[in-house]
Amino acid sequence: MTFLFDSFLYRIKILAVLFSLTLSLFARGSEPFDTIPFEISPGGKIYIDVCINQDTVPLRFMLDTGSSDNVVNTRSERALKALRGGVKEALTVGATGESQTRVTDFDQSLFLDSTEFSGVRFVLIPLDEEIDGIVGWNTLTGADFFIDFDSQNIFLYSSGELEIKDETLWRPIQFMPNGLAAVKLDFVWCGQKKQEWFFLDSGSDRVMDFFTPYLESNKMVTDQKSWGKSRIAGLEPGKGVINEVMVDELAIGPYTLFQIPAGLNLSASGIAATDYTAGTLGNNLMQRFNQAWSFVNRKVAFIPNRRLYSTPYAVTQALGANRVTLRSSGNQK
Q: Give start and end residues of each alpha helix (H) in 229-275.
A: none
pLDDT tens digit sequence for 66-113? 888 999 999 999 999 999 998 998 876 555 456 778 999 999 999 999
Nearest to 272 by CA among 230, 223, 315: 230
pLDDT tens digit sequence for 291-317? 999 989 999 999 999 988 777 676 544
Q: How far from the centroid of its chain's Cα atoms is residue 88's Cα? A: 29
pLDDT tens digit sequence for 5-47? 344 344 444 444 444 444 445 545 578 999 999 999 887 899 9
Give pLDDT, residue 324.
42
Q: Give the chain's count of helices (H) and strands (E).
A: 5, 26
- Entry pTM: 0.82
Architecture of domain 35-156: Beta Barrel (2.40)
Q: Do 11-27+159-326 and 35-156 agree at the fold level?
A: yes
Q: Options 3.40.50.10320, 2.40.70.10, 3.40.50.720, 3.20.20.370; which CATH number does 11-27+159-326 get?
A: 2.40.70.10
Handedness of CA 189, 193, 196, 201 (dihedral sign): positive
Domain boundaries, the chain: 11-27+159-326, 35-156
Q: What is the spatial distance between Cα 33 and Cα 184, in angstroms, rounded to a whole number?
A: 30
Per the CB < 8 A criterion, the answer to whether 255 and 194 are in contact is no
